[in-house]
Amino acid sequence: LFRSGLKVISAISPRGNMRFSFIEDKMNSKKFIQFLKKLHKDAGKPILVVLDNARYHHSKETQGYVEKQNGEVQLVFLPAYSPELNPDEQVWNHAKAQLSKCSIFNKEDMKRCMTSILRSIQKRTSLIKSFFRMSDTKYILASSKIDCQYFRND
């Protein structure tokens, strides 16, 4: 398998919505905040983002941005080392299974294949909703007032 160093972030919601974006270079607070802004704009209402404990999720820049949103963007953190609690992990399990079917020789091939795979998953709202019905993710309750987003980067 070609190792491209391709970086992708994604978020899914219990309603079956999915957003993803490719990141150039290393993920950081600035890039994460831009992704949060896009999620919030796309939702058109307050969002609750459930995260792992990456450093940039806890950074002063990220926390400052969230504080300025007056509750429109809220962050909740999963316990350390608990990927089974994050339904967005299933997006990546599905993507990695499909990736083995691609012929990848360079970074462009990898990006093209990943884009196709993620768009395919994105269109399958019933599949995304099923990620919230797994035994370890049943704790999640979607609120009509807050668009809950689960986030993962890979």
8: left (phi over 0), alpha (psi -120 to 50) or beta: beta
- C-alpha to C-alpha distance for 25 and 38, rounded to whole angstroms: 19
Triad 67, 8, 32: Cα angle to 5°: 15
Q: Look at 9-23, 41-55, 66-80, 128-142 and tell me which has the smallest mean pLDDT.
A: 128-142
pLDDT in tens, 12-39: 988 899 999 999 888 999 999 999 999 9
| pLDDT value at residue 148 | 57
Order across the sheet with 7-12: list the strands.
18-23, 7-12, 147-153, 47-51, 73-77
Residue whose tokens read 């990943």:
114
pLDDT value at residue 67:
97
pLDDT at 111 over 70: yes
Considering the entire predicted model, what is its pTM?
0.83
Q: State the DSSP string of 20-40.
A: EEEE-SS--HHHHHHHHHHHH
Residue 89 identity (one-letter amino acid) = E
Give the single-character DSSP code of 13: -
The structural domains of the chain, ordered by start, are 7-153 (3.30.420.10)
